[in-house]
Structure 1
């Protein structure tokens, strides 16, 4: 059980880095149209879509990825707590 939990925690950490990378791509022109940007979009956009439907953008600023990262970190801490419990 502990091994599965640790693998799940590590996967969530890697996924949060992918989300951060996808967010950083928005700072550079045409970076999301590159092969790396398209790859990250296919992986990250399905996770970000529910947050974007709940939280509208504030002008030119989209804070939904930040909320999505907080939710991912919250889930990671929950899994970490469950692993320590057993």
Structure 2
């Protein structure tokens, strides 16, 4: 059972890195003055993988132009990952 929990904790950590990559990717247009290409395979992958988690949070956590959903998702994933790894 502890192997399953370890694998689940690792998956949560990998997903956290993917979510962080999406946040960093969202800053690229600000520095390059060019929009992201939604047909780029990497951009499409990051959007497709993270949107199911961020979309429900975004309904409640947008304050003006600030989207707090990635921050809340990262905090939630870290809490969940720590709880899983402690129980393993």
The interval holding the TM-score normalised by the smaller chain is 0.7 to 0.9
Ranked by relative contact order (alpha carbons within 8 Å, sequence separation 6 or more), the top structure is 2
Pairs within 5 Å for 1:1-86: 1-29=1-29, 30-31=35-36, 33=38, 34-55=40-61, 57-83=62-88
TM-score, structure 1 as length reference: 0.86
Give the count of matched residue pairs. Answer: 82
TM-score, structure 2 as length reference: 0.84
Quote the RMSD (CA, aligned, Å): 1.3
**Structure 2: 5+ residue runs without aligned partners?**
30-34
Higher strand share: 2
**Structure 1: 5+ residue runs without aligned partners?**
none
